Structure 1
Amino acid sequence: MGSLEEAVEHVDVLVVGGGPVGLITAYQLAASLPSPYRIKIIEKEPKSAQDQYGRAITLYPRSTEMLDQLGLADALAQECFACRTTASYDKDGNEVAGRGWYFMENMKDTKWDFALVLRQKYQEEIFRQALKREGVSLDAPVSLIDIQVDDTVGWNRYKITATVQNGVTGARNVIKCKYLVGADGGRSFVRRAMDIPFDGASSEDKWVRIDGVIETNMPKPRSYAAIESPTHGNVLWAALDHGATRIGFAFTAEREKAYAEFNEDAAVKEAIASVKPFTLLFKQVDWWTIYVVGQRIARNMLVKDCVFLAGDACHTHSSGAAQGMNTGLHDAVNLGWKLSLVLRGLAKPELLHTYETERLPNVHRLINYDKDISRLMTMQLPIGWTGDPKADPNEVLGHVMAEAATFSSGLGIYYEIDHQLNASSTFSSASGSVPVEAGHRAPDVTLQKPGTLESTRLQKETPNIAQFYIVVFAGDISHTKPSMTAFSNAVATSKVLSNRSLPISFLTIATTSGPSAYELLGGVPFGKVFYDVKKVAHSRYGVNVNEGAIFVLRPDGWVGTSMEIAPDAVDKLKGYLGNFLILEADQ
């Protein structure tokens, strides 16, 4: 009996799936959880198979921002192809303005104003190495073969019993864990084992993707391009890292009849035909695939309060909008900090329910969008189309992609006001300003450090380490000093906001500068101090420099709430944080 007990491994979180979503989830947890918390990540495929080319390639600005706040974006940028150029060509090879991927040229209000193109093979290696530096290694090949959940066990207890099997030795081991994250792809064992319905359907459409090193006479080969082929639909042309190129196209049933077997030679032949009237020569083929297009969504992303789904395990769709990995990263980042805070006993367990309530609506938005563009890219008008039945699908596609531009870039993805995690603001933006609302991305802005006056950015100073940031826009101190002093005194006497064990940090941003932050503010400042002499940051957040304002930023870089610098600001902050954090009442 004793030997059996010793064979059981205990971990806090078991992550199933070693792709980008699983790796980023595990990395966040490993980076934010102190010893002795334990994270384990397993992957059923051997490393050699996982290190193939192909699969996802594109990170949009919001995804890169989130990875930047996790300290990972610079390494990706070192290896990526930074795509800022797009082109669309009609069937005769003439460039058509404003169609296809053109929205990529207008992804502004961010440092990462480009498509970061880096094949998944290289991304995963960067993520694995970062995870290893946090003391966690990917275990592969190891498969999850059984999950049992004891419903009588409460929150933050070992209620899950997982059985795993080594793919080489066949040995089985039992793992007891508090939480399990299924990031194990479209055929997710976790989803099936937990009997979570996977709603949706597959279409009859097939698409081909092929990567390699090519020669061509296309005018803008190192770009994200679309070729409006009468035989292969709206053809994807994507310049890749390391000088390679991806070509993707619809493979109709009519063209399929020409092949007894569809192999690499056939994929090359069809790729050459798809880009006509341009010429194409493959000097090297790295990878190719053919797949059926479909859209499916898991009914739930959290079951039994302890088992989560993320990425393709809970939503699959075409690669038409290049959203798969981006959406999965949004899942991972949304879940990571919440799970960390609950595990550490700093947040109420109910916070975990917001993972599903925030992410599921955005997944539905993506699927509805993907249904339209996947049909348009195969030269079919959307289901339920009420416009001109003879409309050119390529032209309609241009409009659809333009309308969804901020969603595609991720910069416009938002979470609904829920009066808890995303609480209605009591602060009113300055006249003529666009309000930065709760549940929306916190814009990155340039700031200056005291002393050196060197530039920095808000997102660099608010890393995702599973803590909230109370950002005090102090404005012009000569005007705001009375309210700042009153707020400072109230914070100092609040045992909640001065409690250093809470996952909160303060930042102060002033529009005036001086040789000393202490002298400028007339006392000890709130956390780090930064200058905004040109008032760009205040303007972007809609803050009147004569009044100031307070913004609470969530760990993942979305705005939680905002308010005026007023006598009741401390009570409002305590009320907001008390919605989901475990606070000690003021004495």
Structure 2
Amino acid sequence: MGSTTQAVELVDVLVVGGGPVGLITAFQLARNLPKSSHRIKIIEKQPKSSQDQYGRAITLFPRSSEMLDQLGLAEQLAQQCFACRSTVNYDKDGNESPGRGWSFMENMKDTKWDFALVLRQKYQEEIFRNALAKEGVELEAPWELKSIEVLEGVGMGGYRVITGLENPQTREKRVVKCRYLIGADGGRSFVRRALDIPFDGSSSEDKWVRVDGVIETDLPKPRTYCAIESPTHGNVLWAALDHGATRIGYAFTAERQKAYKVFDEKAAVKEAIASVKPFSLKFKQVDWWTVYVVGQRIARSFFVNDCIFLAGDACHTHSSGAAQGMNTGMHDAVNLGWKLSLVLQGLAKPDILHTYEAERLPNVRRLINYDKDISRLMTMQLPEEWTGDPNADPNIVLGQVMAEAATFSSGLGIFYEPDTYLNFDQSSGLSSVQSGQRAPDVSLQKPATFEATRLQTETPNVARFYVIIFAGDVAVTKSQLAAFTDAVASLQWLFNSATPISWLSIFDGPGGPSAYETLGGMPFGRVFYDENHSAHERYGIAANKGAVFVLRPDGWVGTVTEMGANGGSALEKYFKRFLVLRGDAKL
């Protein structure tokens, strides 16, 4: 571990990897934790000149954009992105074939972010780095993790991890001791390998090529998410990019590979031109290109030794066929960020950290299974488990598979299984939105000014839970609301400023001159009106009953309960499972 006289740097969390997943994880911790008492460090082994290269991931789907919006970052992405709402699919002869390929992207509704946010990783990382720096944490590069030691006998939450770092340029060495280590260091993760965590899965024989640049073409609809059904290069990806650029992606079959002793940029461009026939293509400039082997792998564990996490490509890799890589990593980062923030503040029990793997792993498995089918179909092969017509057209099957997985791909349908902990079912028939599901974003109206707002705007992800009282028609539900008020009155900890819980009340119908007069007393928390009843309808809540929702910090529903005498005990049963309750406070 180096010289015994070498100074040891103490940090709460060391994040390894300066890509989007590492940056978003570090950003949440830096923003949520008091700077006077907590220290976050993030390192990246590549110098900035390499880190800022073009290429890599490009697409954020709606749920990822929503999560970044709740972190206050999506608006900056929207300023630079190519907002893609149009798709087109061409057959081998250049004729449009509706309903195939990426057509599901035109029906990503139920969200303000109803488009694919296309912005190359280079630009996303710059936005995330700047946001992190404003929170007082700078990405340190180039620094490479060289060793990890977990100390036995140090309790959970103590400084259990000793790491050795080295600057690959100057060969300077440092020792960092941390409470938690997060490996967001990509598919070849040093953290995963150093801890001997198996990476289960396989690589295929298939290779794919991606080329980004500025082009000229006669393709009729070039500024879209487009698929071209090439008989020689598989299902070709044509993606309009930010700053006027375009990405071409194609299967580089074994047959095509035989023509090249050396496959370089010139060859990649030549094959790209061939892949989009019968359309013409000319690269005015090439920003980036790559060739890679298609495969799918999952780490056997995402959380080990009660102190080390894996996130993003470090714990799951797959093809870029479904454009899910960065999105899945974002889900990892957001799921982990608020949980670790609350544990480090002493507001949540450390057991909550085990829900990271429990929640993320099933969704990663769903993606891997989906990706296996997608990657084979894009290479003009039917899925391995295919039991249909053996002569089926892979292009048609691909369209069907992508359509079936539409809500998963958009992220809006991603859910966490009901359990007895964070996603706790306590209602029957109260609403159509249940625990473990995404809390739909709905339009609301502020009191007095009647200014329009949205639920996600009013529930930012700052590592706090939100108790949302859908009060229904208050003229009808006053007795239920009064019973609920009485039920929670004795639970003083629910209103303690040290408890990470905020309250919102939503009244069904247009706003009046005073929320106090509408209710006949003081409401819980901030008040909003559901002017056209759309919020209650979207949640499937009867206006004569109402309901109480708990929204997790990441925007998923934690639990749902009745707005009545049993509401208080239901909230107590939910929160006491995982929160550390301190002190007392009056209503």
Tell me how far apart the structure 2 counterparts of residues 234 and 361 of structure 1 sit (CA, whole Å): 28
Measure how far apart 1:222 and its partner are.
0.1
Measure how far apart 1:119 and its partner are.
0.2
Tell me how far apart the structure 2 counterparts of residues 269 and 498 of structure 1 sit (CA, whole Å): 65
Q: Which residue of 2 aligns with 1:459?
A: 456
Tell me how far apart the structure 2 counterparts of residues 573 and 498 of structure 1 sit (CA, whole Å): 12
Contact 1:466 1:555 in 2 (8 A): yes
Tell me how far apart the structure 2 counterparts of residues 560 and 81 of structure 1 sit (CA, whole Å): 34
Opposite residue 273 of structure 2, the aligned amino acid is I
After superposition, the C-alpha distances for 1:496-540 in whole angstroms (9 at most, x for unaligned) are 212221100000000142111222222222111000021100011
Tell me how far apart the structure 2 counterparts of residues 372 and 428 of structure 1 sit (CA, whole Å): 36
Contact 1:101 1:225 in 2 (8 A): yes
Q: Which residue of 2 aligns with 1:506?
A: 503
Q: Which residue of 1 aligns with 2:517?
A: 519
Tell me how far apart the structure 2 counterparts of residues 442 and 63 of structure 1 sit (CA, whole Å): 14
- Is it true that 1:413 corresponds to 2:414 in the alignment? yes
Aligned pairs (5 A) from 1:465-484 = 465-484=462-481
Q: Which residue of 1 aligns with 2:30?
A: 30
Unaligned runs of 5+ in 2: none
Q: Percent identity?
A: 71
Q: Which residue of 1 aligns with 2:193?
A: 192
Contact 1:80 1:241 in 2 (8 A): yes
Q: Which residue of the other structure, out of 478, 484, 487, is the alignment partner of 1:487? A: 484
Contact 2:24 2:330 in 1 (8 A): yes
What RMSD in Å do the two structures reach over aligned CA positions? 1.3
Q: Which residue of 1 aligns with 2:241?
A: 240
Opposite residue 140 of structure 1, the aligned amino acid is A
SS across alignment from 2:402: helix
Q: Which residue of the other structure, out of 445, 450, 460, is the alignment partner of 2:447? A: 450
Measure how far apart 1:584 and its partner are.
4.8
Q: Which residue of 1 aligns with 2:529?
A: 531
Aligned pairs (5 A) from 1:120-131 = 120-131=121-132
SS across alignment from 2:395: helix
Contact 2:12 2:38 in 1 (8 A): yes
Distance 1:5 1:472, change over 3 A: farther
SS across alignment from 1:442: coil
Measure how far apart 1:126 and its partner are.
0.2
Aligned pairs (5 A) from 1:174-573 = 174-429=175-430, 435-512=432-509, 513-573=511-571
Tell me how far apart the structure 2 counterparts of residues 5 and 13 of structure 1 sit (CA, whole Å): 23
SS across alignment from 2:334: helix
Q: Which residue of 2 aligns with 1:112?
A: 113
524-533 vs 66-75, which deviates more?
A: 524-533
Measure how far apart 1:166 and its partner are.
1.3
Tell me how far apart the structure 1 counterparts of residues 126 and 373 of structure 2 sit (CA, whole Å): 34
Opposite residue 318 of structure 1, the aligned amino acid is S
Opposite residue 488 of structure 1, the aligned amino acid is T
Contact 1:427 1:549 in 2 (8 A): no
- Normalised to the residue count of structure 1, the TM-score between the two structures is 0.97
Measure how far apart 1:168 and its partner are.
2.1
Tell me how far apart the structure 2 counterparts of residues 332 and 235 of structure 1 sit (CA, whole Å): 30
Tell me how far apart the structure 1 counterparts of residues 453 and 495 of structure 2 sit (CA, whole Å): 26
Opposite residue 533 of structure 2, the aligned amino acid is K
SS across alignment from 2:93: coil
SS across alignment from 1:231: coil
517-526 vs 59-68, which deviates more?
A: 517-526
After superposition, the C-alpha distances for 1:122-177 in whole angstroms (9 at most, x for unaligned) are 00000000000000000000000000001311121101101111122111111110
- Normalised to the residue count of structure 2, the TM-score between the two structures is 0.97
Tell me how far apart the structure 2 counterparts of residues 184 and 258 of structure 1 sit (CA, whole Å): 35
Tell me how far apart the structure 2 counterparts of residues 489 and 111 of structure 1 sit (CA, whole Å): 37
Measure how far apart 1:571 and its partner are.
1.1
Tell me how far apart the structure 2 counterparts of residues 245 and 255 of structure 1 sit (CA, whole Å): 23
After superposition, the C-alpha distances for 1:410-448 in whole angstroms (9 at most, x for unaligned) are 000001011110001315236xxxx10110100000000
Tell me how far apart the structure 2 counterparts of residues 313 and 72 of structure 1 sit (CA, whole Å): 24
Tell me how far apart the structure 2 counterparts of residues 376 and 511 of structure 1 sit (CA, whole Å): 48
Opposite residue 514 of structure 1, the aligned amino acid is G
Tell me how far apart the structure 2 counterparts of residues 13 and 231 of structure 1 sit (CA, whole Å): 49
After superposition, the C-alpha distances for 1:459-478 in whole angstroms (9 at most, x for unaligned) are 00000000100000011111
After superposition, the C-alpha distances for 1:311-339 in whole angstroms (9 at most, x for unaligned) are 00000000000000000000000000000
Contact 1:492 1:498 in 2 (8 A): no
Alignment length (residue pairs): 581
After superposition, the C-alpha distances for 1:291-319 in whole angstroms (9 at most, x for unaligned) are 00010000000000100000000000000
Contact 1:447 1:532 in 2 (8 A): yes
SS across alignment from 2:495: coil
Tell me how far apart the structure 1 counterparts of residues 523 and 32 of structure 2 sit (CA, whole Å): 26
